[in-house]
Structure 1
Amino acid sequence: MIDFEKRLKSLKERRQGTRERAIYESMESFSANNAIQRGIDVRKSESFENLNEVAGVKYAIGAMSAVEPASTNVSIDEGNRVADSLIKSLLNSGESVTKRLQGSVALDIHIKGHSDVDMLIIVTNPVKIELPKVNPNEYSPATDTRGLINIAKDVREKSERILPINFPKAEVDSSGNKSISLEGGSLRRKVDIVPAIWFDTIRYQRSGLESDRGIKIYHKADHEFYLNYPFTHIKMINDRDSLYSGNLKSVIRLLKNMIADMPDYKKRTAKNLSSYDLAAIAFHMNTELDVPSYMKLALVEKARAHLAFLNSAKTYRDTLDVPDGSRKIFNEESKTEALEILTNEISDLAKAIYEELKPFSHSYDANVILNKSVF
């Protein structure tokens, strides 16, 4: 049986931090100590907490809800602050770069109030162009005579030197092959800096839309580029989410919270499905996402049925691409094992909610959750 009161506590702490942390962040230490001893909680009460519903319903609705915008904006502001400082220093050292936000915060599918933020630092001159060029005269000759891979390497190495100077009290970790992370000091969020270059696809050359533009991330150890399409992914998720009134992102957050609340022995395997993979899995629910806002609980059963089908239908599962079409979702066997665990967990969730709603019933009836209105 799921302990939903424990789940609600962990959900709130993910979204708003612990009670003690919130108090220490809102007042000086003497007053904070007194407030903690008196059991005061300064954290905001969220709408799902105030529902006149059983705990399981509150948890499910909360797990699907976006983190408070004010907290998300702090993550974005801190990412921009670090990126802007770095870009200014890189420009002064002869590097031409710009920034972009990517990842879960960019899509508003993060589940932590104090969420890490990914900032791309992208070389702007020259760019990598997919051949054949659509319009050969559209691109001016590069003014930098270094090869692109060496420019990216120089940007990476300069960033590793600059960031500890610009943020002397922060802990700067340069051990990652694709990113440099900063946290602590004056930073209110952990920030990951990801050096990359533009990859102007043929499609982008025709459309001029950034959602058609690729990037190549610099890998430090391999001294190679790895192609990604983060802006295509963002557009595909945003467009489908808008089509279904926010329900796609709700399911993505639900799946991420389910993994976050697993015991460690399950979580180690389940985390082989990345946030990117979970978004892709939910993306393929298609019309199953079409439920009215007052029946949002139905998404629990819809997601359960979708995962159960994927878990059992290997032939179909193996055909599924991520939204930008760059690869298959289940491109590693470890992800199939993760899917099985996640399927069982969401099945347990649906059944536990059903048992709270129908405590004297002995067999699960999906229609109870599918038809439940929550206001």
Structure 2
Amino acid sequence: MKKNYELLIQRVKQRSNPNAIDESVLLEKSFSAELKGLYDKKVLVYIKRAMQGVEPVYTSNTLVAGDKVKTQLKNLYPKLDYKYQGSVPSNTHIRGYSDIDLVQIGGGFYAHDDRSNFITEYQKPNLSQDQKIRLCEVINGAPYLGNSNEDLKKIRLNAEEVLTKAYKEVNILKAKSIEVNLTNPKRMVDVVTASWYKSVEAVLSANDYENGIQIYNKEKNHRLNADFPFLKIHLINKKDSDVNGRLKKMIRFLKTLKADSDIEIDFSSFDISSVCYNIEKIKYYDKSYDALVHVLHEELDRIAIDSVYRDTIQSIDKSEHIFRDKPEKIAQLKLLLDELKIIREDLFKDSLVKRFLS
């Protein structure tokens, strides 16, 4: 069934430009000219807008909101590490009024891969002296004598007190984060409390972005399994740079299809990003924005019908398989594929008309 592209275009514009700023001022001239050149080809306008990033004026205000909350927390705990995670720092968000995740990370202790893994790595040849020193720091490190969960609990509770005094709308009931709603700029900041996690790879490379975190759960008073959000951001940025921005275009496009669907599709941003990241660069590094629709259709269709291939697909940081033993997730991907098929069919019809008239 052909979609109402006038309505869909308005939805995209409202998300990416919620203040309805004059687009002649807001948009880059090149992008604005490309949109005008499409005339009445509404499906192409929708695709192009859906792939476009949120205008910098909105993203900058989101970061301003995050920095305001960060300042409050740094006054309380100046020695903690503060990092942003999620779709805003990777520029794969699709809403002007995007939420942002701020992680406050306790630096007094850290967890790490099994010590035997570090010993095994240390015994390998061709390591630099600096690598050996860093490995030894973990191998010979003294156990933390404090109570790590209680330390994180204190950090979390103190953050709740400070933020509830500083802001009117603060939700402290969530187990994994504090939700802070700012009015100037109007944004929501999710504050996560965590500790560092060091993998063998991160210690060898000494790249900060390879370090993981373990998020603190207030309800259960414990830390979750290690996650590597900063590595994901780095890998997305690196691959997107290699393909001249096309990876993020595909991620934003699928997120937009999900947001604009008349049915609820339970396929997360994490899943969408992982599926897009998995596509080989050679398949799309030189493709036009409309050709990327066909690339995505081919990929999602293969995932839907080829169980062997489907089970190989991993998250961006290789920490988990996206579909293996998760039949409910396959069903949700097929719903997203149905939305994509409609767009692709309308795009194909538009192309036929274009060829006929030319």
Match status 1:146 vs 2:146: yes
Q: 1:82 aligns with which of 64, 69, 72?
A: 69
Q: CA deviation at 1:317?
A: 0.4
| 1:118-157 to 2 correspondences below 5 Å | 118-132=101-115, 134-136=135-137, 145-157=145-157
Mapping of 1:159-238 within 5 angstroms? 159-167=159-167, 169=168, 171-226=169-224, 227-238=226-237
Once the two structures are TM-superposed, the CA of residue 145 in structure 1 deviates from its matched residue by 4.9
Q: Which residue of 2 aligns with 1:323?
A: 316
Deviation at 1:172, TM superposition (A): 0.5
Q: How does 1:236-247 map to 2 (within 5 A)?
A: 236-247=235-246
Take 1:325 and 1:41, find their aligned partners in 2: how far apart are those partners?
Answer: 40
Query: What secondary structure is seen at the aligned counterpart in 2 of 1:297?
Result: helix
2:129 match:
none
Secondary structure of the corresponding residue to residue 112 of structure 1: coil
- The residue identity in structure 2 corresponding to 1:193 is V
- The answer as to 2:51 corresponding to 1:51 is no
Residue-by-residue CA offset, 1:69-127 (whole Å, 9 max, x unaligned)? 12111111211221121121234xxxx41100110001000000111011111001122
The 1:238–1:204 alpha-carbon spacing in structure 2 relative to 1, beyond 3 Å, is same
Q: Secondary structure at the match of 1:228?
A: coil
Which one scores higher on RCO, CA 8 angstroms, separation ≥ 6? 2
The alignment partner of 2:186 has SS state of: coil
Aligned to 2:6: 5
Equivalent-residue separation in structure 2 for 1:253 and 1:340 (angstroms): 18
Between the aligned partners of 2:273 and 2:230, the Cα distance in structure 1 is: 14
Query: Would you say 1:259 and 2:258 are equivalent positions?
Result: yes
- 3-state SS in 2 of match to 1:242: helix
SS at match of 2:197: strand
Q: Is the contact made by 1:199 and 1:214 (CA closer than 8 Å) also made in structure 2?
A: yes
Q: Is the 8 A contact 2:50 2:256 kept in 1?
A: yes
CA distance in 1, matches of 2:7, 2:15: 12
CA apart distance, 1:305: 1.1
Q: CA deviation at 1:182?
A: 0.9
- With normalisation by structure 2, the TM-score equals 0.85
Check conservation: 1:51, 1:58, Cα contact below 8 A.
no
The 1:137–1:314 alpha-carbon spacing in structure 2 relative to 1, beyond 3 Å, is closer
Task: Note the residue ranges of structure 2 that are not aligned, 5 or more in a row.
Answer: 119-134
Measured after TM superposition, the shift of residue 359 of structure 1 is 4.3
Alpha-carbon spacing, 1:68–1:18, altered in 2? closer, same or farther (3 Å): closer
- For residue 251 of structure 2, give the secondary structure of its aligned residue in structure 1: helix
1:114 to 85, 94, 97: 97
Whether contact under 8 Å (1:99, 1:120) holds in the other structure is: yes
- Residues in 2 aligned to 1:298 and 1:166: alpha-carbon distance in whole angstroms: 49
Deviations, residues 130-161 of structure 1 (Å, cap 9, x unaligned): 3425213798768x853111111111111111
* Partner-residue secondary structure (3-state), 1:100: strand
Structure 2 Cα separation of the partners of residues 43 and 243 of structure 1: 30
Distance in 2 between the 1:41 and 1:291 partners? Answer: 28
User: For 2:184, what is the secondary structure of its paired residue?
Assistant: coil
Task: Give me the whole-angstrom Cα distance separating, in 1, the residues matched to 2:177 and 2:37.
Answer: 41
Distance in 2 (CA, whole Å) between partners of 1:204 and 1:41 is 44
1:61 counterpart = 2:61: no
Q: What is the TM-score when the length of structure 1 is the normalising length?
A: 0.82
Tell me how far 1:313 sits from its aligned partner. 0.8
Distance in 2 of aligned mates of 1:215 and 1:345: 35
Shift of 1:184: 3.6
Q: CA deviation at 1:355?
A: 2.1
Q: Does 1:290 align with 2:285?
A: yes
Measure, in 2, the Cα distance between the counterparts of 1:305 and 1:220: 43
CA 1:137 to 1:72, structure 2 compared with 1: closer, same or farther past 3 Å?
closer
Please list the CA deviations of residues 3-24 of structure 1 after superposition, one character each: whole Å capped at 9, or x if unmatched: 11101000000001154xx6xx
In the aligned structure 2, how far is the partner of 1:333 from the partner of 1:247? 29
Q: CA RMSD in A?
A: 2.4
Question: What is the aligned residue count?
Answer: 329
Q: Report if the CA contact (8 A) 1:291-1:298 is conserved.
A: no
Q: Which runs of 5+ in 1 are unaligned?
A: 23-39, 362-375
Aligned to 1:301: 294
Contact 2:26–2:55, Cα closer than 8 Å, also in 1: no
Deviates more, 1:64-73 or 1:8-17: 64-73
Q: Once the two structures are aligned, what percentage of the paired residues are identical?
A: 25
